Structure 1
């Protein structure tokens, strides 16, 4: 599971002068921790209002529809192991590519997924916000 980091820890990291890449890595960890812990207020705070999530099934959700699906228990994350293999930074934009393995329930049906992942983060008013996330299933 992603390391349990609080919003306070994130602020301390920023104040400690960590690099933009480290800030994005921390934001990714906070994102996955929030989903597994069911802290959807924290997840929503990490997301840009324009957030688009493309599931490995091809289904797309916006910020409000994805958050509602999680809050209503339609999607429930039990474990997420994610790697940020590459972070490409350009100005106030970061593209994170890696893998994500998760145990989750969708409509009460347990699943384990293994995906390639791409996430786009933008820095606005000093904070990194998740703009887009796309998963692609890795075929066994």
Structure 2
């Protein structure tokens, strides 16, 4: 997705066009798989439909922003920086939902933060690694 999206943008496609094609293909593949497996289930009430629309909107906005970042940072750096998302998810779970992490999990969070800081560091830009 990232490689083809970056190539399409270099060829003149906009991030919105790349996102539309990617979401359409993913929707068709997932719809076919869930229908074939007999596990497709549509929302039963208004709250379910609002949740579906909100999730779809959130994914669409996030992916358009992600692909738009390619023009400013390049696909490699945008992909590396997208690793911040799971970290925010973990921190949200700890701060808001009251989740507790083990020492090994906190070590993993620290390693991910260190890797992101190294990627953004001046040492990385001058080739010291």
TM range (shorter): under 0.3
TM-score, normalising length: structure 2:
0.26
Q: Which has the higher strand share?
A: 1
Which protein has the larger Cα radius of gyration, Structure 1 or Structure 2? Answer: 2
